[in-house]
Chain A
Amino acid sequence: MDLKASDRFNINSQLEHLQAKYVGTGHADLNRFEWAVNIQRDSYASYIGHYPILAYFAVAENESIGRERYNFMQKMLMPCGLPPERDED
């Protein structure tokens, strides 16, 4: 984080600090993969959180609602597969 001296103590830096406390927020160095993982996890969390949506998926997939919920939760572990190799820079 290279902030200017004037930036260091003002309200905006506090805002960023506040934001950084939430999992799922991003920053300038976030790559495509990491962002996608966040999107996937948020999506699954949202599906699980909204019961009607969960029920809708259950009907569409012909599964029980509990099974659907379990599946979504499992998928949150590694939603996009293994992270890509980072090229050392």
Chain B
Amino acid sequence: MDNVDAEIAKAQEERRKMEEVAMLTSVTFDADLYGGGPDRFEGYERSIAVNEEEEEQDGDTRELARRMASFTGPKSLKEIPRGAEGEDESGFKKPQRIIDREDDYRRRRLQRIISPERNDPFASGEATPDPSVRTYADVMREQALQQKKEEVLKEIAKKKEEEKNKAAAEPAPAAQKRRNRWDQSQEPDGGAAKKAKPSSASSDWDAPDSTPGIGRWDATPTPGRVADSTPSLSRRNRWDETPTPGRLADSDATPAAGGVTPGATPAGMTWDATPKLSGLATPTPKRQRSRWDETPATMGSATPLPGAATPAAAFTPGVTPVGGVDLATPTPGQLNLRGAMTPEQYNLMRWERDIEERNRPLTDEELDTMFPQEGYKILDPPASYVPIRTPARKLLATPTPMGTPLYSIPEENRGQQFDVPKEAPGGLPFMKQEDYQYFGALLNEEEEEQLSPEEQKERKIMKLLLKVKNGTPPQRKTALRQLTDKAREFGAGPLFNKILPLLMQPTLEDQERHLLVKVIDRVLYKLDELVRPFVHKILVVIEPLLIDEDYYARVEGREIISNLSKAAGLATMIAAMRPDIDNIDEYVRNTTARAFSVVASALGIPALLPFLKAVCQSKKSWQARHTGIKIVQQIAILMGCAVLPHLRSLVEIIEHGLSDENQKVRTITALSLAALAEAAAPYGIESFDSVLKPLWKGIRSHRGKVLAAFLKAIGFIIPLMDAVYASYYTKEVMIILIREFQSPDEEMKKIVLKVVKQCVSTEGVEADYIRNDILPEFFRNFWVRRMALDRRNYKQLVDTTVEIANKVGVADIVGRIVEDLKDESEPYRRMVMETIEKVVANLGASDIDARLEELLIDGILYAFQEQTSDDANVMLNGFGAVVNSLGQRVKPYLPQICGTIKWRLNNKSAKVRQQAADLIARIAIVMKQCKEEQLMGHLGVVLYEYLGEEYPEVLGSILGALKAIVNVIGMTKMTPPIKDLLPRLTPILKNRHEKVQENCIDLVGRIADRGAEFVPAREWMRICFELLEMLKAHKKGIRRATVNTFGYIAKAIGPQDVLATLLNNLKVQERQNRVCTTVAIAIVAETCSPFTVLPALMNEYRVPELNVQNGVLKSLSFLFEYIGEMGKDYIYAVTPLLEDALMDRDLVHRQTAASAVKHMALGVAGLGCEDALVHLLNYVWPNIFETSPHVINAVMEAIEGMRVALGAAVILNYCLQGLFHPARKVREVYWKIYNSLYIGGQDALVAAYPTLEEEANNFFSRPELAMFV
């Protein structure tokens, strides 16, 4: 031990001497030459402070800073972990099918029908459209018919209901049996409706302000709508009413598109068809018999398939004969192709096949290739051997008609490569089973020549689409480009007829949809106005994207619709979407409203205003008014403050909706006003003048959901008002709010809380008013255990309470809830703690008196100790926040707190130990303020003893706690002493866990920085070797800390040994390791002055090894970047080396040397090193014709650097030789250089331009420059 102490003393002595020498030498410098004045590093941090604030500050300023800090954002924002580059995930997401994550509501997209194309009045001009073409009038007529039909159906259903009720009332009438069947066939529908209802009820009904949400005010089915739970199936029935004999062939030609319509047909006939069904013994409930089922060729009608229960099967083309699939005799396997399979079954089968292939027994040939020929003998299996068969696999094996009792290995082609997907003909990508129904036709190749040009075109499109959908990235890229380039050639019709059905495929995955949507986007751009007849078709497919839960899908959907509206024009968009506005299906109206808002943002709100006005005043149907007002709401949500110029007109358009006769319309109007006010905040109150009265009157007359919506609107409007008005209106609304405090409705609670928060935060509302009128009721109704159970209630309540606290102060709020820290319900305690944390962090603890302080600490200790599960660290954060804000007032409680911590550090549960250590890290600063250094020393020793911890998370926290203690009490006073602590840390550096690594390297770096002399040089070298391994860490923060630590160590023990280690490390293979090493070398050079490092570094360049030489060059590059102006002393020394590197055959040499030249030039600009720089420029310049992107980039940057150092005129002179060179390749490069020169220093060039000779009638001279006074 004495030995070590002596060594330390020696090191300290040496250090002191060094410093003295340095002081002497500074005198000998020539101050003029070397700029000996103030230190270059003055004003810079010489070492990295571990905490945010500098601990050298005296008490007062720190106090101030701490109070100031409470005015900034929440603490959680400041504690974003350093270097969090999201390495947590592996980066690969499993391909996910869209349908799996959709709820029932979103799945309704699959019930929509891709409508046939419509007439384009712009294209046809004056001519009357052909009767076969669908015009706007046709569509509207259909819509009206549909609506009427709907009403009739409702009537019928109502009557049935009445009759049923009556029948139930009467005792067993004679006709009972007959009617019974009616009821039966109706029941599933009713059941479906009931199923739809809870799903919509669970979705969130004030969702409109969160984009993905679905406004579900309308989702509740209107009474009597039982019958139309699948209404969309029966739409467009005009197409079904005219069955032509050739229909089957038609649908064959365009299998997918046609397939949808015929499939949907039967459902449309439901009500008319029912009497016919009476003959059938067991009618299938959902899939009705149809014309198509009677065709003998199909197989669907005879035996109802199990898959028929899924909604998808009702319209997948499976029921109708489709393309190539139907040509073959239906085998059991092929039956599966017919869409009767659910997506789940598909996947199961695929997975099963895959597993079978992997687990198949090895053949003799395979074994031969695996083992050496000699030394092995093939034994016969013992007679008693019976292979083990898993029963599950037996079940899944194909049953043979004979029913073999034992499993037999199916015959298969052994030569097949199983990892490679089966090759489709003609270099086509692998087809999934689901794809056969769309791309099946591509498989029979032989008839290619006999196809008509139209069919050939179709095949071409299909091929390209398949490549886009399933192909490799290069395939996909070329296919996409071909589709784009040839879009007009293919024509809109064939393209969309192929693309859109694919998008309706039920098994579509995210990636596939993204690609297909991309195709549409590109194609749209090319097709432009040709797209008009297909607008509605496209909308049907794209609109569902607008309510997708995936953000990027929503953005994509918006982009497509926006491009579509730009291509098709406003008139076409309105014509296409108008019929959907009063569609009977709420889903259709909802998506249409969203699509309209996108149109408004694409084409401008003013363009859409007249139409919106008309729709919102529609007399005919409340649905139209509802949708119109909803469009306004969506516009507000989508466009934000961009609605401001049109705010008044938008409000005027919808204001009458507040007094509409329909309740839903009133509700949506209020919600739209809320959205508008939110978007306009904090401006635009004058636009809302006209609605203030109806709103405030409305809250007195309405109840339930309408009231909630009205309150929401008021909540958003109040913050826009002036203080006086806000105060008045708040008092008006507060009566209602307080009444609604006790509403049992969850949604109402949330809205009330939100409105209270909004009202309270406005300027005009006085603290006294809140304290006397709001607080008592508020706490009585909301601060109850039940509120802590629902996550959203919890959050809203905490937010609102914090907002109230901002007005009335800490003491009021904390005083009311502090007792609840000892409540028996843990979620409730957590809610209390979170509130206290936020309030105290916001406002400080100066209001808290002695009694409250006692209660608070007591409660916190109780809550902290009693916690059983805490993943969000609420208790820990709360504890830390309270202790830190109380500051020195915690002193009396510290022994108790430390006792708790010590006890918990010894706990069995790892989580508890970790938390205890984390708590030490948080309160260390306060302990120092309370002058409890002895206590801290004690804690340090305790933590030191726990360094053997085996859970990495806990170990990381313990290291963090040690670091916090070392930081506040300093190196000299630390117990255990640094010389004992550090050797204990060295082995921990080997730990591969990120948290351990990060905390450990931080601690070691800190010691190296502040207390290096307490540890012998030998130990530091040992640590250097460990640190090399850490350069491989994934986390950037760790690598950065490591590199900095190298710098500190080099400063402590001198650069030579560290440098030798680092230079050796340049020989390793991993690139990242080498890169970090070069950075470390540069940092060592920076901390220990370049002259200590450069000789060895330049010597290393003589090693004839690419990696080493490149490493040296890279170090030089970093070095000159770091040392900046200091480079002027070294530039002449390294010039020969750079000359050599810039002439090297290896590209990377030249690239790295060029970037070194860049940094050098930028550093010494204006310091009189032009001669060397011009010399280097001459070596850099020939590289301008390089084509490799990295090299040319480095070269161009070097030239830019030279421009800064030498001036633009010099570079211009280099340029002039090539600007008008006869070879275009040369000219291009030179103009590129000229352009960057021009952008960088245009003004400087004016004086340096060459004098051009005059031509016949042009004068190029600039006589002004020759003027002389």
List the interface of chain A (C-beta within 8 A of B): 6-7, 10-12, 15-16, 19, 22, 24-28, 30, 32-33, 35-36, 39-40, 42-43, 46-47, 49, 56-57, 59-61, 80-82, 84
A28 and B1231 contacting across the interface, CB-CB below 8 Å: yes
Closest 10 CB pairs of A and B: A19-B1235, A28-B1227, A25-B1235, A60-B1267, A46-B1246, A10-B1189, A36-B1260, A28-B1228, A80-B1258, A81-B1258
A80 touches B1260 (CB 8 A): yes
**Cβ contact within 8 Å between B1246 and A11:** no
Q: In the complex, A24→B1192 CA distance in Å?
A: 23
Chain B residues with CB under 8 A of A12 = 1189, 1192-1193, 1196, 1232
Whether B1262 sits at the interface, judged by CB under 8 Å, is: yes
In the assembled complex, 27 residue pairs joining A and B whose CB atoms fall closer than 8 Å, in A order, are A7-B1187, A12-B1189, A12-B1192, A12-B1232, A15-B1196, A16-B1235, A19-B1232, A19-B1239, A25-B1238, A26-B1234, A28-B1231, A36-B1252, A36-B1258, A36-B1260, A39-B1260, A43-B1264, A47-B1264, A56-B1267, A57-B1264, A60-B1267, A80-B1259, A81-B1257, A81-B1258, A82-B1258, A84-B1255, A84-B1256, A84-B1258
Q: Which of B1231-1248 contact A (CB under 8 A)?
A: 1231-1232, 1234-1236, 1238-1239, 1242-1243, 1245-1246
Minimum CB distance partner of A40 in chain B: B1262
Q: Chain A residues near B1269 (CB, 8 Å)?
A: 56, 59-60
Choose among B1193, B1232, B1267 the residue that contacts A57 (Cβ–Cβ < 8 A): B1267
Q: Which residues of B contact A42 (CB under 8 A)?
A: 1242, 1245-1246
Q: Is the interface of B mostly helix, strand, loop or mixed?
A: helix
Q: A12-B1192, A49-B1243 are in contact. Are A24 and B1238 (CB under 8 A)?
A: yes
* B1232–chain A nearest beta-carbon distance, Å: 6
A44 vs B81: C-alpha distance in the bound complex, in angstroms?
54
**Total of A-B residue pairs, C-beta within 8 Å:** 89
| Partner among A22, A30, A61, A81 whose Cβ is within 8 Å of the Cβ of B1259 | A81
Contacts of B1257 in A (CB 8 A): 81-82, 84
Instruction: List B contacts of A39 (CB < 8 A).
Output: 1249, 1252, 1260, 1262
Q: Identify 13 new A-B residue pairs, CB closer than 8 A, beyond the known A22-B1238, A25-B1238, A26-B1231.
A: A7-B1189, A15-B1232, A19-B1239, A27-B1228, A28-B1228, A33-B1258, A39-B1249, A42-B1242, A47-B1264, A49-B1243, A61-B1267, A80-B1258, A84-B1257
Nearest CB on A from B412, distance (A): 42
Q: Is the CB of A11 within 8 A of B1193?
A: yes
- Beta-carbon contact of A16 and B1232 below 8 Å: yes
Q: Judging by beta carbons under 8 Å apart, are A24 and B1242 in contact?
A: yes
B1224 at the interface (CB under 8 A from A): yes
Which B residue sits closest to A9, measured CB to CB? B1189
For the complex formed, measure the closest distance between the CB of A48 and the CB atoms of chain B, giving whole angstroms: 11
B1268 proximity list for chain A (CB < 8 A):
60
Residue of A nearest to B1221 (CB): A28
Chain B residues, Cβ within 8 Å of A47: 1264
Q: Chain A residues near B1260 (CB, 8 Å)?
A: 36, 39-40, 80
Q: Which residues of A contact B1187 (CB under 8 A)?
A: 7
- Interface assignment of B1219: CB less than 8 Å from any CB of chain A: yes
Q: B893 at interface (Cβ–Cβ under 8 A)? A: no
Given A80-B1260, A82-B1257, the answer on whether A27 and B1239 have CB atoms closer than 8 Å is no
Q: Answer whether residue B1220 sits at the interface, using C-beta atoms and an 8 A cutoff.
A: yes
B459–chain A nearest beta-carbon distance, Å: 27
Shortest CB-to-CB span from B814 to chain A, Å, is: 56
Q: Are A32 and B1220 in contact (CB under 8 A)?
A: yes
Within 8 A of A (CB), among B914-962: none
Query: Min CB distance, A47 to chain B, in Å?
Result: 6
B1189, B1192, B1193, B1236: the one within 8 Å of A19 (CB): B1236
Q: Are A22 and B1192 in contact (CB under 8 A)?
A: no
When distances are taken between beta carbons in the complex, the residues of chain A under 8 Å from B1249 are 39, 43
The residue of chain A having its C-beta at the shortest distance from the C-beta of B1227 within the complex is A28
Q: Is the CB of A46 within 8 A of B1243?
A: yes
By a CB distance below 8 angstroms, the chain B residues around A6 are 1189
Interfacial chain A residues near B1259, Cβ < 8 Å: 80-81
Could you tell me the distance in whole angstroms from the C-beta of A60 to the nearest C-beta in chain B? 4
Bound together, the chains give a CA A59 to CA B569 distance in angstroms of 60
Q: How far is the CA of A7 from the CA of B745 in the complex (A)?
A: 62
CB-CB under 8 A from A40, the residues of chain B are: 1260, 1262
Residues of A within 8 A of B1235 (CB): 16, 19, 22, 25-26
Which B residues are CB-close (under 8 A) to A46?
1243, 1246
Interface residues of B in 1156-1215 (CB under 8 A from A): 1187, 1189, 1192-1193, 1196
- Whole-angstrom CA separation of A35 from B1231 in the bound complex: 11
Q: Are A27 and B1264 in contact (CB under 8 A)?
A: no
Q: Considering only CB atoms, which chain A residue lies closest to B1224 in the complex?
A: A28
**Chain B residue nearest in CB terms to A49:** B1243
Docked complex Cα distance between A82 and B1234 (Å): 25
Across the interface, which residues of A come within 8 angstroms of B1239, CB to CB? 19, 22, 25
Q: Which residues of A contact B1243 (CB under 8 A)?
A: 46, 49
Most interface-central of B1196, B1232, B1245, B1259 (chain A CB within 10 A): B1232
* A72 nearest CB across to chain B (Å): 8
Kindly list chain A residues whose C-beta atoms are within 8 Å of the C-beta of B1246: 42-43, 46
With CB as the reference atom, state the residue of chain A lying closest to B1245.
A42
Q: Which residues of B contact A10 (CB under 8 A)?
A: 1189
- What chain B residues lie within 8 Å of A26 (beta carbons)? 1219, 1231, 1234-1235, 1238
A19, B1236: Cα distance in complex, Å:
7
- Using Cβ atoms and an 8 Å threshold, which residues of chain B touch A7? 1187, 1189
B1232, A11: Cβ atoms closer than 8 Å: no
Q: How far is the CB of A33 from chain B (nearest CB, A)?
A: 6
Give chain B residues whose Cβ lies under 8 Å from the Cβ of A25: 1234-1235, 1238-1239
Q: How far is the CA of A56 from the CA of B1264 in the complex (A)?
A: 10
**What residue in chain A is nearest B1229 (Cβ atoms)?**
A28
- Could you tell me the distance in whole angstroms from the C-beta of B1236 to the nearest C-beta in chain A? 7
* Alpha-carbon gap, A50 to B615, bound state (A): 60
Closest to A75 in B: B1264
Give complex CA distance A56, B1189 in Å.
Answer: 47
Cβ of B1193: which chain A residues have Cβ within 8 Å of it?
11-12
B1147 to chain A, nearest CB (A): 15
Residues in B whose Cβ lies below 8 Å from that of A24? 1238, 1242
Contacts of B1219 in A (CB 8 A): 26, 35
Q: Which of A11, A19, A28, A35 has the most chain B CB atoms inside 10 A of its CB? A: A28
B1224 smallest CB distance to A (angstroms): 5
A46 vs chain B, min Cβ distance (A): 4
* Mask of B550-580 contacts with A, CB within 8 angstroms, 1/0: 0000000000000000000000000000000
- A26 CA / B1236 CA spacing, docked (Å): 10
Cα–Cα, bound, A10→B1188 (Å): 10
Residues of B within 8 Å of A22, CB to CB, are: 1235, 1238-1239
Whose C-beta in chain B lies nearest to the C-beta of A35? B1219
Question: Once the chains are docked, how many angstroms separate the CA of A40 from the CA of B1219?
Answer: 17
Q: Once the chains are docked, how many angstroms separate the CA of A60 from the CA of B1263?
A: 12
With a CB–CB cut-off of 8 A, which chain B residues contact A59?
1269
Least Cβ distance of A32 to chain B in Å? 7
Shortest CB-to-CB span from B536 to chain A, Å, is 36
- Point out the residues of chain A lying under 8 angstroms from B1265, CB to CB: 43
Bound Cα distance A16, B1239 (Å): 12
The complex places the Cα of A25 from the Cα of B1235 at a distance, in Å, of 5
Residue of A at shortest CB range from B1192? A12
Partner of A30, one of B1196, B1231, B1232: B1231
Q: Which residue of B lies closest to A39 (CB)?
A: B1249
Question: Most chain-A CB neighbours within 10 Å: which of B1189, B1235, B1268?
Answer: B1235
- The interface residues of chain B lying within 8 Å CB-to-CB of A19 are 1232, 1235-1236, 1239
Q: How far is the CA of A75 from the CA of B807 in the complex (A)?
A: 66
Give the Cβ gap from A17 to chain B, nearest Cβ, in Å.
11
Roughly how many angstroms separate A16 CA and B1193 CA in the complex, as a whole number? 12
Which residue of A is nearest B1249, CB measured? A39
Report the bound CA distance from A80 to B1256 in whole Å. 11
Question: Which residues of chain B are near A33, meaning CB under 8 Å?
Answer: 1255, 1258
